[in-house]
Chains A and B, each alone.
Chain A
Amino acid sequence: MTMRILAYATLALALSLPILPVMAAEPGEYLDRRSEIWNLFFRMMTVAFTIGTVVSGTIVWLCWRFRESHPKAKRTKYEEAGEW
């Protein structure tokens, strides 16, 4: 579920790309703060969403694999020992 939500969030972000101003073809005399700052932003968002995919994927997998109704689910050793 988290995964899907993050996927939609990524999509929403991708759709928001038009706010990225179209850069002038020739490099101006001055530094363009828009391109510097927005490029930094998108570099970081790429990394953030990659990590987000890994983390949410892990959460989803954990929930799927270790649910008590999973065919391979077995009592934890702590349950056997009664110490949890």
Chain B
Amino acid sequence: MVSGHSNMPEWVYIGVVVALLCWVGAEAWNIERLVEHIPEDAKLIKVTGQQWFWTFEHEDGTKEIGELHVEAGKAYKFEITSKDVIHSFNIHDYVVLLDAVPGRVNTVWFAPTEAGEHDIQCREYCGLIHYNMRGTLYVSEAGA
């Protein structure tokens, strides 16, 4: 070495960094595995994005625009697609987020726990009124 110093500290440092990264990777892998597992009895809701609103279709065929009514204590599976450009379906309060891509169906699920109202928004730039491509999620009491 030009300056005659020891490289030991750098190796220790790299070891610590690599160990931390392994921990991050393992934790992330584990949680992703858990949240991606869709319960078998999850009810299907078809979500369609288009400039600039959301349409929802329940299993029984009822449709809603800009509003989504679900029941606490049940699991729901969203099948998300788009009619025109790419959107991103997002219920931030329930950490639900997935792109609505034309020609593809993406799947994500959630199980609301208590009654309330939550914002639905578009998170992928989709043109003029992207900023106002919003909706509302209404969660009603279990068994109501």
Direct A–B contact in the complex, CB atoms closer than 8 angstroms: yes
* B114:A24 contact, CB within 8 angstroms: yes
Residues of A within 8 A of B111 (CB): 28-33
- Tell me whether A47 and B73 are in contact in the complex, defined as CB-CB below 8 angstroms, given that A31-B34, A33-B110, A36-B34 are known contacts: no
Number of chain B residues whose Cβ lies closer than 8 Å to a Cβ of chain A: 21
* A44:B27 contact, CB within 8 angstroms: yes
* B34:A30 contact, CB within 8 angstroms: no
Question: Which residues between 58 and 82 of chain A lie within 8 Å of chain B, taking CB atoms?
Answer: 78
* B35:A36 contact, CB within 8 angstroms: yes
Instruction: State A23–B23 Cα separation when bound (angstroms).
Output: 26
Q: Mark A15-52, 1 if CB is under 8 A from B, else 0.
A: 00000010110001111111011101001100100010
* B75:A38 contact, CB within 8 angstroms: no
Pick the residue among B3, B35, B39, B113 that contacts A24 (CB under 8 A): B113
Q: Can you list 9 pairs linking A and B with CB atoms under 8 Å apart?
A: A28-B111, A29-B73, A30-B111, A31-B111, A34-B95, A36-B31, A37-B35, A38-B95, A40-B27
Closest 4 CB pairs of A and B: A30-B111, A24-B113, A33-B35, A40-B31
